[in-house]
Amino acid sequence: MKISKIKEILTADTLAGEERIDTEVICACGSDLMSDVLAGEAKEEFVLLTGLVNPQVIRTAEMVDMRAIVFVRGKTPTPEVLELAEEKGIVVLSTKCPLYIASGLLYTNGLRGAGSVETAL
């Protein structure tokens, strides 16, 4: 799914990386715990949905090469955080949607998590 499609589904604003909005992602993960993200399977073609907006969210994405981050619940990061995202080439979206609803919307539109439902259970 293109990041631009995620933006559309979540009625999100683009806060950083506008020029990369047509990049494809194939998986999503949702977490407010960065250690959990680092312990998981997130990689290049992943988008991270999170309610945290501190610079370590950008760093976490950087470490595993994630292409995009969606800030949920209308959280607004500081300009420094967005600058860091620009520097790292990460697309940042912001939606008013809470994490659970945002995840549900993307999932029902075909964006899956890592692995199959069977392996997740």
- For other proteins, the binding residues (CB under 8 A) are 32-36, 38-39, 43, 50, 52, 54-57, 59-60, 62-65, 80, 88
Please, what is the minimum distance in Å from the beta carbon of residue 33 to other proteins?
6
**Residue 55 or 113: which CB sits closer to other proteins?**
55
Cα–Cα distance measured from residue 25 to residue 68, given in angstroms and rounded to the nearest whole number: 8
**Residue 79 or 110: which CB sits closer to other proteins?**
79
Please, what is the minimum distance in Å from the beta carbon of residue 28 to other proteins?
17
Please, what is the minimum distance in Å from the beta carbon of residue 35 to other proteins?
4
User: CA torsion 39→100→11→52, rounded to 10°?
Assistant: -50
Taking CA atoms, 73 is separated from 22, 30, 31, 52, in Å, by: 23, 13, 13, 10
**Residue 16 or 57: which CB sits closer to other proteins?**
57
Q: For residue 49, which of 75, 24, 23 has the smallest C-alpha distance? A: 75
Query: In sequence order, what are the residues at sequence separation of 6 or more whose Cβ sits closer than 8 angstroms to the Cβ of residue 65?
Result: 43, 44
Please, what is the minimum distance in Å from the beta carbon of residue 39 to other proteins?
5
CB atoms within 10 A of CB 18: 10
**Residue 45 or 65: which CB sits closer to other proteins?**
65
